[in-house]
Structure formats: structure tokens, C-alpha cells
Structure 1
Amino acid sequence: MSAQDTPLPTEPVDFAVDLTGHEMTRRAHVMEALGAGWDPVEALRGEEEAYDMLYSGLDPEQQRLYDDLVAAGVLPRRGDGRASA
């Protein structure tokens, strides 16, 4: 009997893969790639500065759209409520 002749199961088949070991290896590789000098607090500070720059100097229409997105909960409010803060 070939694989083509084998009937397909009619009931759900229990299938599980444990990726725990792979995940630990992946995390170790990420930390190695970041290096010993990686400072997560400084990285976060840099991201915040980049967002502040991204939302600064908006013209009135861009500011209106930004305010609408903040009111809808899509973007967090930054600074004093103006995008250029």
C-alpha cells in the first residue's frame, strides 16, 4: 500500500511542536548580536527622541490629523498635547 492509498484521518490529529529550545537559542543569538555595550534604556530614549522629531514641525493640516489620531487612540499624546512638543 502506497502513501497515496492511505486514507486521510476523519478525526482531528493531535500535533504539537515544542520550540522552547529553539527560542532560547534564538534569544542567545540576539543578545550576542547586540553586544555587551547595548543599553536598552538608551535605545528607548533614542526611540522617543526619534518620535518627537517625527511629529514636530507639523503644518496645521498635519497637526489636525495628528490630533484626530490621538483622539481615536491610534497614537499616544506626546508632550503638552501638541505634536511639536
Structure 2
Amino acid sequence: MNQENKDDLTPFTIDLTLEEARRRAEVLAALGPDWDPVEALRGEDEAYALLYSGLDAEQQRIYDRLVAAGVLPGDEPGRAATH
């Protein structure tokens, strides 16, 4: 594109701040007044522990390798896979 064509362009910007605030308000409204984020996280931790409980030796070995490789998160707080 040459300089002449660039001069004919009109900048186009959109500020999504108001839309993001509206979206967040709608999410919180949908969750309702009884939503407890601490309890929700506690429930997720319990579900995660249950998911990987009762593994046999081979499954545990594979699980440990996947955690070490960063494919699965470990059991530390705020866990997330690194890959």
C-alpha cells in the first residue's frame, strides 16, 4: 500500500469497556445472590481429588508422569497445567 492510499484511510477503533462491564454484570446476575465462590472452588477441589483417586499402580505412574511434564496440574493450590 503506498502513502497516498494510507492517507485515505479512516482510523477505526471500538472501546469495549462498557460492553465488558455489562457482560460481567449479567454473569453475576445469572449466578444469583447465593453464589459462593469459595464454596465453588472447594467443590472443584473435591471433584478433582475424586477424579484422580483410586488409581491402580500403572495409572498412578502415568498420572505422575503427566503432572511432571506439565500436561496435568498437580495438587498445589491454584493449579493449572503448564502446557
Greater than 4 Å deviation, 4+ residue runs: none
Question: Secondary structure of 1:73's match?
Answer: coil
Flag the structure with more relative contact order, 1 or 2, with Cα contacts below 8 A and sequence separation at least 6.
1
Task: Tell me which moved more, 56-65 or 20-29.
Answer: 56-65
Name the CA shift for 1:30/1:60 in 2 (closer, same or farther; >3 Å).
same
Instruction: Structure 2 unaligned segments of length 5 or more: list them.
Output: 77-83
Which residue number in structure 1 is paired with residue 42 of structure 2? 45
Kindly report the root-mean-square deviation, in angstroms, between the aligned alpha carbons of the 2 structures: 2.0
Q: What TM-score, normalized to structure 1?
A: 0.71
1:59 to 1:21, Cα distance in 2 relative to 1, 3 A: same
Give the aligned length.
70
Match of 1:27 among 8, 11, 24: 24
Task: Tell me, in whole angstroms, the C-alpha distance in 2 between the residues paired with 1:29 and 1:76.
Answer: 31
Counterpart secondary structure, 2:21? helix
Could you state the TM-score of these two structures normalised by the residue count of structure 2? 0.72
Q: What's the % identity of the aligned pairs?
A: 64
The structure 2 residue matched to 1:75, chosen from 56, 63, 72, is 72
For residue 15 of structure 1, what is the aligned residue in structure 2?
Answer: 12
| Displacement after TM superposition at 1:26 (Å) | 0.5
CA distance in 2: counterparts of 1:77 and 1:63, whole angstroms = 12
